Structure 1
């Protein structure tokens, strides 16, 4: 997919000043490509459901649709101008962030403990996951000032999150995941989806770019700089090769968080792929939940800047500005909800999919007595 990005940026130049740097490609091309991807993705799922496509062919179509949608979105995000917002556009004073962070974080933590006690008394790991989400939101104000950038508690929160998610999946879905990954087609679909989504997340967040930037140095640059990413500071390797053009910034924090998120989406995809193939072998017809799940597992709300940019394009800055200040501004306590909430959401989706798969396996393996 990203070979295509490089190829697109090398299209012969045109005369318009705005388009010379990108070979005539505009944000509209990205939107069109993303829409084509959505049509291919949804169409493949619908054709599978109506038995016009075999499951394997439908999965290939879904993967192509995911790739085209990701590529189009990256083109749109990279070529459209970044919106700028002044303090005057804030929906409320920044001084509200501290009480908002502490109140929301405490409410999520306490609510998770109560829900775990009442709904899942034998699964304390669920309550612990909610408690961790509350810590993500409240942490910047539990350790105020620049000390929070390098505090051990911040690193512990970030490192424990994927460990806890992995533990929950190991306990509640480990057998089903291993069974799904033994299916070669499901395994390939899951791995491919995870890789595409990982590159997608790097692209839309600006850490991977194939577009030239005005004022950038004209020589190859390699540097390691401290960068704050998700609560704390990480050593970040930055590589700029203007002749391709290529910019890459990668840190342990990015690989940990984005890798976990992409892996969860890939596991969702693998489980659904196996379910599709199991339904075909059993001669069953897929319900509407199966197609919706494919689209849902390949859609993530963690890309706050992209959401704000699309809102600005569709509804104007009056609508986009509040979204930016509430969900994208690094100082906002709710910005963590995009990343951590998505991880917990996809982990829960996997557990739900496992339960559905187990029900299907029972219907396939259990035979009525003669």
Structure 2
């Protein structure tokens, strides 16, 4: 796997993972700040493709570094603008589809399959590392929690304990199986800078794709017309968290910040930053030795697969192609009783964490 392809896929993972939260900002219409929705889609595709092209040209020595860097950065910014526009504007019918009745049953089936699969995989492949199966069971519980708890478990202590347990399990696995590479990143300025930058980019995209910040606030009857800042609970992720909601109509800008979203951002942002740091570190080592690094390829593959977790951007593309007919896909991510949002969150955690562990050789089977 060429370092260039690995880096481009890692960039895709960093930009795309903003979708793992269960909420998505929804707005009706076909334009965003006067821009046709299809044009945002074109900007996203062309921008990201041009960024990859600039990196390819630099790798093949067809562009000098001082030229390739600003061209690639500009192209990435154009692509990011298009992606943000896509997640900002959603064409959605006001009522959910009838298939919502099957969501609870589907969540139970999917959660049970995840738990059983985690136990089987842990027993057969990592019998001496029960922490892997434990994380899988916790992620399965994340999927079924809104279904099995009374009133969705919005204020139940078990929900807060589950969120804390997932955070602890990820940190524990990193400590046990990948702490060496984490420590090396802290002492290596270039990978550390690259990882930090990726984390910042991810945070920005996460804020828009999760609906926590928008430059296209809802307007109409009942919408605030003056600057408003209020404190209220927000039930995402899983349970209600203290939050600050703000609306600045003159910007225009609106959004909220809660303890839950900050915890989710810390979890995913740290995994994204670590992955990118590992990729840069291994790419530099590969370039110096003139060889190939298989772990780099595996990490890039995992990062590329994690791009499928970009739920809002995925729905934005569908709404460009099918308009309001794509509403069922929107509600599949929005409805807390649907397993889709939880499964995509679980996949993001497993893929990003797994790629870091594999990069250190920590995922080798232990008999």
Shift of 1:294: 8.3
When the two chains are superposed, the root-mean-square deviation of aligned CA atoms in Å is: 3.3
Shift of 1:288: 12
* Residue range with higher mean Cα deviation, 291-300 or 192-201: 291-300
Cα separation, partners in 2 of 1:93 and 1:245, compared to 1, 3 Å: closer
Shift of 1:31: 2.6
What pairs with 1:297-336 in structure 2 (closer than 5 Å)?
300-315=307-322, 317-318=324-325, 320-336=326-342
Q: Which has the larger radius of gyration?
A: 1
What pairs with 1:345-356 in structure 2 (closer than 5 Å)?
345-355=351-361
TM-score of the pair, normalised by structure 1: 0.78
Cα separation, partners in 2 of 1:342 and 1:295, compared to 1, 3 Å: closer
What pairs with 1:1-370 in structure 2 (closer than 5 Å)?
22=33, 24-47=34-57, 49-50=59-60, 66-78=76-88, 80-84=89-93, 86-87=95-96, 89-90=97-98, 92=99, 94=101, 96-145=102-151, 148-215=153-220, 216-284=223-291, 290=297, 293=300, 296=303, 300-315=307-322, 317-318=324-325, 320-355=326-361
Aligned counterparts of 2:282 and 2:57: Cα–Cα separation in 1: 16
Cα separation, partners in 2 of 1:59 and 1:288, compared to 1, 3 Å: farther
SS at match of 2:230: strand
Q: Is the 8 A contact 2:247 2:254 kept in 1?
A: yes
Cα separation, partners in 2 of 1:246 and 1:317, compared to 1, 3 Å: closer
**Aligned match of 1:364:** none
* Residue range with higher mean Cα deviation, 180-189 or 114-123: 180-189
Greater relative contact order (Cα 8 A, min sep 6): structure 1 or 2? 2
Cα separation, partners in 2 of 1:210 and 1:341, compared to 1, 3 Å: same
Aligned counterparts of 1:44 and 1:355: Cα–Cα separation in 2: 32
Q: What are the ranges of 5 or more consecutive residues in structure 2 without an aligned counterpart?
A: 1-28
Shift of 1:81: 4.3
SS at match of 1:145: helix
Aligned counterparts of 1:346 and 1:104: Cα–Cα separation in 2: 21
Cα separation, partners in 2 of 1:289 and 1:267, compared to 1, 3 Å: closer
Q: Is the 8 A contact 1:55 1:276 kept in 2?
A: no
Shift of 1:271: 0.6
Shift of 1:230: 1.9
Q: What are the ranges of 5 or more consecutive residues in structure 1 without an aligned counterpart?
A: 1-16, 359-370
Aligned residue pairs total 333
Shift of 1:323: 2.5
Shift of 1:46: 2.6
Aligned counterparts of 2:299 and 2:74: Cα–Cα separation in 1: 17
Aligned counterparts of 2:300 and 2:123: Cα–Cα separation in 1: 29
Aligned counterparts of 2:295 and 2:119: Cα–Cα separation in 1: 34
Shift of 1:198: 1.1
Q: Is the 8 A contact 2:279 2:296 kept in 1?
A: no
Aligned counterparts of 2:288 and 2:40: Cα–Cα separation in 1: 38
CA deviation map 1:89-148 (0-9, x unaligned): 43x351x333322222122112211211111011111000110111111212321225x1
TM-score of the pair, normalised by structure 2: 0.79
Cα separation, partners in 2 of 1:61 and 1:257, compared to 1, 3 Å: farther
